[in-house]
Amino acid sequence: MTEVRPTAAILWARAPRAGPVVVEVSAADGTPRRITREAAEADDLIVRLALDGLTPATRHRYVVSQDGERAEGEFATAPPAGEPARVSFLWSGDLGGGGFCRLLDGGYRIFRAMARHPVDFFLFAGDTIYADVPCRRPGLVPGADFVATTLAQYRAKHRYNREDPAVQDFLRRTPVYANWDDHEVKNDFAGTTEPLMPIGRQAFLEYFPIATPADDPHRMYRAVRWGRLLEMFILDTRQYRSDNGAPDGPRKTMLGAAQRRWLLDAVPASTATWKIVVTSVPLSVSTGKPERRDSWTDVSIFGLAPERGTAFVAERDAVLGQLRTRGVKNLVFLAADVHHAELIRHQPAPGWSFHEFIAGPLSATTGRPRPLDARLNSHTLFARGGIYNYGEVAIDPARLTVRILDEQGGALFTHTIEPD
């Protein structure tokens, strides 16, 4: 499994046992690199390898071996910022929720459908595990019938999902940009008040090849540039957030001061045609209880705002206001979390609009569409609940096309947007 950049990649693998692991990486026309790393029990046998000096927009193959056992995979590096390369990717979230875990008959089948798409990468938009939900339904692969409260248990939850053959096959051939949400630790948690957050965070960072900076090894928010057409801004909506029960207002934050400054500087400065902001929780769909809202919005089941909300509307609207004032165009927010698919066009101010795309679940309790936050002046283009699903985004110089697909890979809806 890899996370890629134009000239770099992080390769992730888990060894069968402690000891030396040999990694060979090569481009189609290049000399293989051969690197040895030590897998240790203390690291849960995980090996992470930072590769640099790679050629942009080039397919690479890799082999990871130990004592005669081997796994093969491949990845393509991103194109340089000035190249008008087409790009396509999948996104979804919510894997193993509500006890809907690996089936004895077929495992996580949706990944087989996803593997049939020749895309550039997969955006895993949160709830990559359900650490706080036991898998107790009949017909499931055993191994996750517990609530995680220790590092060993958090690791075991990640390992359980990662051992699924369909998940492995997909991730060996498709680079992934992973984002966390609440169930990597505990339902609706806030990192500033949740005592389990540090060990849940450690397990998440161990089990995904996330490029964290050397001076801040816990930082997960990051930008990913993919040629001239796309730049993604992946948010961390958990680690820095205020407690959900605090009243909404200018002092309440989901992003924290440093991440918010980064976002408001980076998005307007981007020269990419399309700016996609990845937020694990939706902008316009309310989640959590009224006294402890968990998403950006606090609207009721009728789409109406309360007099005293507990969501993060003040920060959301301040961020959107800054992006509008600074003239950001071709803006899309991607989310998962609510266990239904929905494509939305928002126009919170005259002459300025943007889109929000929601997909999921991959395998979890299914949800249903609900009233949106009327303050965003929203128009639903498509909404569907009751099914496992994922989304596909394809971008070329003339347009962005988004599709919602079901568990078998059948297209449910297609929408095209031309850049402004």
Asked whether residue 88 falls in the same domain as residue 198, the answer is yes
Asked whether residue 73 falls in the same domain as residue 97, the answer is no
Asked whether residue 210 falls in the same domain as residue 170, the answer is yes
Asked whether residue 30 falls in the same domain as residue 127, the answer is no
Q: pLDDT tens for residues 189-204?
A: 999 999 999 999 999 9
Q: Could you list the residue range(s) of the whole structural domain that residue 87 is in?
A: 80-417
Q: pLDDT tens for residues 236-289?
A: 999 999 999 999 999 999 999 999 999 999 999 999 999 999 999 999 999 999
Asked whether residue 205 falls in the same domain as residue 335, the answer is yes
> What percent of the chain shows pLDDT beyond 70?
100
Spell out the alpha helix ranges (H) of 122-256.
Answer: 151-162, 165-173, 197-207
Asked whether residue 193 falls in the same domain as residue 73, the answer is no
Give the residue from 389, 260, 281 showing the smallest Cα distance to 335: 281
| DSSP category for residue 339 | S
Instruction: Report the distance separating Cα 150 and Cα 163, nearest Å.
Output: 20
Q: Identify the three-state secondary structure at position 181.
A: coil
Q: Identify the three-state secondary structure at position 57.
A: coil
Give the residue from 104, 124, 149, 147 showing the smallest Cα distance to 207: 124
Helix (H) or strand (E) holding 96: none
Q: What total of structural domains would you count in the chain?
A: 2
> CA 48 → CA 13, 35, 208, distances in Å?
7, 11, 9
Give the residue from 403, 396, 361 showing the smallest Cα distance to 124: 361
What is the longest distance spanned by two Cα atoms in the chain?
Answer: 65
Q: pLDDT tens for residues 223-241?
A: 999 999 999 999 999 999 9
- Let me know: does 103 contact 109? Beta carbons within 8 Å: yes
Which CATH number is 8's domain given? 2.60.40.380
Average pLDDT along the chain, 420 residues, taken 10 residues at a time:
97 97 89 93 97 95 95 96 96 97 97 96 98 96 98 98 98 98 98 98 98 94 98 98 97 98 98 98 95 94 86 97 98 98 97 97 96 94 98 98 98 97
Instruction: Report the distance separating Cα 238 and Cα 34, nearest Å.
Output: 38
Asked whether residue 178 falls in the same domain as residue 290, the answer is yes
- Let me know: does 137 contact 100? Beta carbons within 8 Å: yes
- Let me know: does 233 contact 278? Beta carbons within 8 Å: yes
Asked whether residue 67 falls in the same domain as residue 146, the answer is no
Count of residues making up the chain? 420
Asked whether residue 377 falls in the same domain as residue 390, the answer is yes
Q: pLDDT tens for residues 119-152?
A: 999 999 999 999 999 999 999 999 999 999 999 9
Asked whether residue 55 falls in the same domain as residue 101, the answer is no
Asked whether residue 62 falls in the same domain as residue 84, the answer is no
